[in-house]
Amino acid sequence: MNTRETLLNGLKQGRGAWVSGQFLSEGLAMTRSAVWKQIRALKEDGYEIEASPRKGYRLRGVPDLLLLQEVRDGLTTRAFGQTQALYFLQTDSTNLRAREMAAQGAPEGTLVVAEQQTHGRGRRQRVWFSPPRQGIYASLILRPAIAPTEAPRMTLLAAVAVAETLLALTPLEAKIKWPNDILVRGRKIAGILTEISTGMDAIDHVVIGLGLNVNIPAIDFPAEICTQATSILAETGAPFSRSLLLRRFLEYFEYYYDIFHTKGFDPVLQRWRALTDMLGRRVRVDMIGRQHVGEVADFDQDGALILRDEGGRSIRIFSGDITLL
């Protein structure tokens, strides 16, 4: 925790009451002038802090920003979001920034978060709508000791964590659509972008990107996606704390990641099955140069979709665009 985070924590512990400048100065081992400079910096970040020469300072309001001190406030993870983190008001893509950091040796659990992406991406180079301060655009670096063939499991882990977060914090009935989408009432509210870097026969790192539509009004979605996308605001009619959502996602993700490493993938897969409504559904799978139509029979230990086609054959599918029929 840096000096500014420690100061902010002291103000928050006051729970809206006055905290004397002398108390903060002594607690931080800095001059009262230095405390004032940190207070001014917090105000520039959007914190509402009242100052009085006789009473000191009190916190009146917290900005709806994904500032690291807000994301980490109460975060219970061991590594995710704790080891190293980078915050941007704007960047092209958090996944790109995370991949750069991973290539330079950033540790597992490193978090990259942005208020806006200018070139947000989904699977197959699709654009991810990323308006400023209305969604969660974040990427996490993993360094799992697994074979490259096991990488799809990381997408399923992340999807479970997103669905659990929405179920725990909102009234929404979130469902997972294989392999990387989270839907509410059939519309996409979140997506996962997984990118890996491999060595000879092992993974060097995995970057998990999360896009979650939080406070985007329904009328603001571009015409090309307005019938397929939704947000927490559009579904509930009320804005929601983005920092709380991101914090809970990191906690759920690390929880399931630890289960994966200690108990294997099966407990995660069982939860994944419980959080999807695709089993038994008729779907069309569009792949490069091929198309399959059939019923979703299951999802296997490798994260593949098992499709029973119209001829009764079972087909393992690792990648493709799914349309529910």
Which residue bears the tokens 């870097």?
197
Same domain, 17 and 121: no
Rounded CA separation 34/19 (Å): 16
* CB distance 84 to 106 below 8 Å: yes
SS3 of 171-182: the string is CCCEEEECCCEE
Same domain, 146 and 291: no
Domain count of the fold of the chain: 3
Residue 284: predicted pLDDT? 95
The letter for the amino acid at 302 is D
Q: Which residues contact 91 (CB under 8 A, 6 or more apart)?
A: 97, 112, 114, 116, 117, 118
CATH number at residue 169: 3.30.930.10
For residue range 135-183, list pLDDT tens digits in order: 999 999 999 999 998 999 999 999 999 999 999 999 999 999 999 999 9
Residue 118: predicted pLDDT? 94
Picking from 13, 42, 61, the residue at the C-terminal end of a domain is 61
Which residue bears the tokens 């916190």?
59
- Residue range 76-104: mean pLDDT, rounded: 96
Same domain, 239 and 297: no
CATH number at residue 299: 2.30.30.100
Same domain, 188 and 209: yes
Range of the structural domain that residue 319 is part of: 282-324
Residue 291 CB: number of other CB atoms within 10 A? 11
Q: What mean pLDDT, rounded, does the chain reach?
A: 93
Which segments within the chain are labelled E, that is strand?
A: 48-52, 56-61, 85-88, 111-114, 135-142, 174-177, 181-184, 187-198, 203-213, 282-287, 290-299, 305-309, 314-317, 321-324
Q: Which band of pLDDT confidence, cut at 50, 70 and 90, is reported for residue 124?
A: low
Same domain, 244 and 105: yes
- Is the confidence at residue 194, as pLDDT, over 90? yes
Element containing residue 255 per DSSP (H, E): helix 242-263
Same domain, 211 and 269: yes
The letter for the amino acid at 172 is L
Rounded CA separation 259/268 (Å): 8
Nearest to 174 by CA among 241, 274, 84, 78: 274
Picking from 238, 257, 274, the residue at the C-terminal end of a domain is 274
The whole-angstrom distance between residue 238's C-alpha and the CA centroid of its chain comes to 20
- Residue range 257-273: mean pLDDT, rounded: 97
Same domain, 98 and 118: yes
CATH number at residue 17: 1.10.10.10
The whole-angstrom distance between residue 65's C-alpha and the CA centroid of its chain comes to 14
First to last CA, the chain: 51
Rounded CA separation 70/62 (Å): 9
Same domain, 164 and 29: no
- Residue range 209-215: mean pLDDT, rounded: 98
Same domain, 219 and 128: yes
Nearest to 159 by CA among 46, 93, 300, 257: 257
Same domain, 73 and 163: yes
Rounded to 10°, the helix 266-274/152-169 angle is: 50
Residue 199: predicted pLDDT? 79
Q: How many CA atoms lie within 13 A of 129 on its CB side?
A: 21
Which of the 8 DSSP states describes residue 74? T
Q: What is the pTM of this model?
A: 0.91
Picking from 61, 77, 95, the residue at the C-terminal end of a domain is 61
Residue 201: predicted pLDDT? 80
Which of the 8 DSSP states describes residue 64? S
For residue range 282-321, list pLDDT tens digits in order: 999 998 889 999 999 999 998 899 999 988 999 999 888 8
Same domain, 238 and 101: yes
Same domain, 38 and 102: no
